[in-house]
Structure 1
């Protein structure tokens, strides 16, 4: 059985593009960055912690394959998580306005007994146009930024802020599909076989 260690509807939709049957098991972990922790180290640690948490919950049952991911928006070396309130959202979007930032997404695929644990990091460069305070206020009222890293969703209204992007769109949304397909293949899951079996 394939388990997606995430409550994110975006990750569920992305994985569903080539896996017809999998279970959703959100991981309840502390995602607070450590002091002086580098962004890339942080996203890999969180993805692994999510996967290991689910492995423990399922008592390391044989035959399970666990997929987890974590996404952070990074500007000037600062990790921008989900906004805690409107003021925090405004702060983040003002930081991102009229400049480039990195979206760093990690992927962890492992067997449930943790005999084999693989990880990937995907870094995407995103450039924003200038965003006015009025737009920022209206965007918050839309509800979209409230549970998004960096306080925006590239798959939603937030796409109107994106001037250019270099890298993986699916990674920015939350799950890097190229890397996921490659890792699944290494574990014996062929996505085209999965699709043809639907």
Structure 2
């Protein structure tokens, strides 16, 4: 039986994010990973589509660390950004607990969309690829007590849309249509496909 080819160890992925979730997911690719926070601005003009927002912010994050990443042999910078969209409104990270409660009340019993952008830049050549993925998420009907207890856990406060599908928030979700990892914040299969355009065959 033939064996799978080993990943190219001359390549290092530079993740332009400090998100523990993205760090865990990018590790699944089996390549060396360096983490560099981008500190890129996340303001976008009113009227931009969700697709344009996540692609632009992913690009900004990747470009913000590109110069530093250039010191790493074989570096490919990966930037990613995730937003939740309900009724055309972009729901970012809640400002505080009250804002998280408000978001979850809006999401309760309804479907919404999660968009995750992805930008890969090869440091040596400057070659860039930007794209996005979308997944539809359907929430359970939530009681005020359930929402209050979840917000009190502290989990929603640093997450777009005020929930984390990979943690306690999984119990709030009825079903999804699309890619689970897009909702978590890094579509791993799509990232592997994008990296193949740089000559990497994964796994």
Q: Above 0.5 in TM-score?
A: yes
Q: Deviations over 1:19-75 (max 9, x none)?
A: 241100111011123222221111100000000101134457773210111110000
Q: Aligned pair in 2 of structure 1 residues 33, 95: CA closer, same or farther (>3 Å)?
A: farther
Q: Aligned pair in 2 of structure 1 residues 34, 114: CA closer, same or farther (>3 Å)?
A: farther
SS in 1 for 2:174: strand
Q: Could you list the structure 1 runs, at least 4 aligned residues long, displaced by more than 4 angstroms after superposition.
A: 59-62
Indicate the RMSD between aligned Cα atoms, in angstroms: 1.5
Structure 2 counterpart of 1:18: 29
Kindly indicate whether residue 19 of structure 2 is the aligned counterpart of residue 5 of structure 1: no
Q: Give the whole-Å Cα distance in 2 for the aligned partners of 1:2 and 1:98.
A: 39
User: Is the contact made by 2:55 and 2:119 (CA closer than 8 Å) also made in structure 1?
Assistant: yes
Kindly indicate whether residue 141 of structure 2 is the aligned counterpart of residue 158 of structure 1: no
Question: Which of residues 119, 143, 148 in structure 2 aligns to 1:108?
Answer: 119
SS in 2 for 1:73: strand
Q: How does the TM-score come out when normalised to structure 2?
A: 0.89
Pairwise mapping of residues 66-85 of structure 1 onto structure 2 (< 5 A)? 66-85=77-96
Question: Which of residues 136, 145, 167 in structure 2 aligns to 1:125?
Answer: 136
User: Is the contact made by 1:55 and 1:114 (CA closer than 8 Å) also made in structure 2?
Assistant: no
List gaps (5 residues or longer) in structure 2.
1-11
Count of residue pairs the alignment pairs up? 192
With 34-43 and 59-68 compared, the bigger mean Cα shift is at 59-68
Q: Give the whole-Å Cα distance in 2 for the aligned partners of 1:77 and 1:136.
A: 23
Structure 2 counterpart of 1:141: 152
